[in-house]
Amino acid sequence: MAKPEIHTMEELSAAIGVSRPTLSRYFQDPTKVSKSSVERIRRGLERVEYIPNFFATRMNRKTTGMIGVIIPYLNDLFFTRLLESIERAAMRAGYTVITQCSHSDPEIEARAAETFLSMNVDGAVVAPLGNHSDLKVYERLNARLPFVLMDSRPARLSGVDFVGTDHIQSTGLITEYLGRVGGPPVFLAMPRVNFNALEREVAYIAKMEELGLEPTIIGVDPLNAEGHFEAHGLAVLDRYFSKGDFINSSILCANDRVAIGALRAAAHHGLEPGSLRRGGLRIAGHDDYPLSQFMIPTLTTVAQNVEAIGQAAVDRLIEKLRVEKFQANQTVQLMDGVLKVRDSA
């Protein structure tokens, strides 16, 4: 049962009687070798245990066929969906994805970038950490690799390609909806862990002013550690609801995870947010988090087109690494959000 283990192409060449360069070509692209040889090699490999050494192959090829992806954290289904869509798109294009998670730590993010450089990845896609991440890391990657930022965009960074949601549009859309069907919406901010947090605040204010309404923002000061969005939404609204504030308001949460905390706060105070009764409490979110449709009540939100963002990021990356050094001008792709009207607002 135990096939003999073979560790080098040289040995394999001796074992199955095909020259090493032919084997090398076979493993890179079987069509580069005549059918008769392919057959001989196939049969040989069945009798023997051999895998080409990953490092040795990558070291000598001009292209490694790998793209590096960095996401800020894993415990968020939004990012895992994004990651999945990127992996699928990359797989379709024949690339291998190496994922690194920065765990909300700029140092880890910087180290991951170095790893990508030292691995000669063909390109890199990064979802930035946030305000406290080191912009030099992105500039460095952008200067040395085909590089695309996604999801959230540092304000003070120029010349870097970006793919994400148009928050002016998406946040404006739901702000307008809330203003139309209920009272003027209040914005429940999220901890400013990334640049989208602020972008959505700004978009909300702009839309409110356009509608001639007075913007109100609550929950800016983070009460919790980063990344605990639900706990943040719960804590902020629990305080307000305890004082009787906002119990009849339309509340637009900066994202669905905050909104889930908000729904919990409402339930805790016996409030039933919903669009049915005019004038009552309404709660809405942003992102269309996978669980939002199962919340009680189901959560009204704006869906980000995650699949399109992942696909576009990979497409743009591949476009860049094809033209090699032509350094085309900066591309910024902003996808529209889609309103998902459910029961909560």
CA distance 121 to 198: 32
Q: Is 219 in the site for its own copies (CB under 8 A)?
A: no
Question: Is the dihedral angle over the CA atoms 93, 99, 102, 107 positive or is it negative?
Answer: negative
**Position among 1, 62, 94, 270 found at the interface with DNA (CB under 7 A):** 62
Q: Is 119 in the site for its own copies (CB under 8 A)?
A: yes
Give the single-character DSSP code of 217. Answer: E
Q: Which does 28 bind (CB under 5 to 8 A by kind): its own copies, DNA, none?
A: DNA
DSSP 43-59: HHHHTSB----HHHHHH
Percent helix, strand and coil across the chain, each to the nearest 5: 45, 15, 40
CA distance 158 to 139: 9
Q: Is 314 in the site for its own copies (CB under 8 A)?
A: no
Query: How many residues in the shown chain lie near DNA by CB under 7 A?
Result: 26
Q: Is 159 in the site for DNA (CB under 7 A)?
A: no
Question: To which H or E segment does residue 268 belong?
Answer: helix 256-268
**Position among 38, 48, 77, 334 found at the interface with its own copies (CB under 8 A):** 77
Type of residue at 129: L
Rounded to 5°, angle at Cα 183 from 180 and 189:
100
**Position among 4, 34, 43, 202 found at the interface with DNA (CB under 7 A):** 34
Phi, psi torsion values for 305, nearest 5 degrees:
-85, 75
Binding range to DNA, per CB under 7 A, among 20-28, 69-77, 167-175, 202-210: 20-28
Quick note: the x/- pattern for its own copies over 240-269, rule CB under 8 A, is --------------------xx-xx--x--
Q: Is 131 in the site for DNA (CB under 7 A)?
A: no
* Contact indicator for 119, 98 with CB cutoff of 8 Å: yes
* Contact indicator for 121, 64 with CB cutoff of 8 Å: yes
Q: Which does 269 bind (CB under 5 to 8 A by kind): its own copies, DNA, none?
A: none
CA distance 133 to 111: 12
Distance of closest approach, residue 104 Cβ to its own copies, in angstroms? 11
Quick note: the x/- pattern for DNA over 243-282, rule CB under 7 A, is ----------------------------------------
**Position among 30, 49, 59, 277 found at the interface with DNA (CB under 7 A):** 59
* Contact indicator for 300, 342 with CB cutoff of 8 Å: yes
> Around Cβ 8, how many Cβ atoms within 10 Å?
13
Distance of closest approach, residue 64 Cβ to DNA, in angstroms? 11
Quick note: the x/- pattern for its own copies over 92-111, rule CB under 8 A, is ----x-xx-x-x--------
Quick note: the x/- pattern for its own copies over 43-62, rule CB under 8 A, is --------xxxxxx-xx---
Q: Is 18 in the site for DNA (CB under 7 A)?
A: yes
**Position among 15, 57, 215, 272 found at the interface with DNA (CB under 7 A):** 57
Residue 83, token pair as written in the block: 């990651």
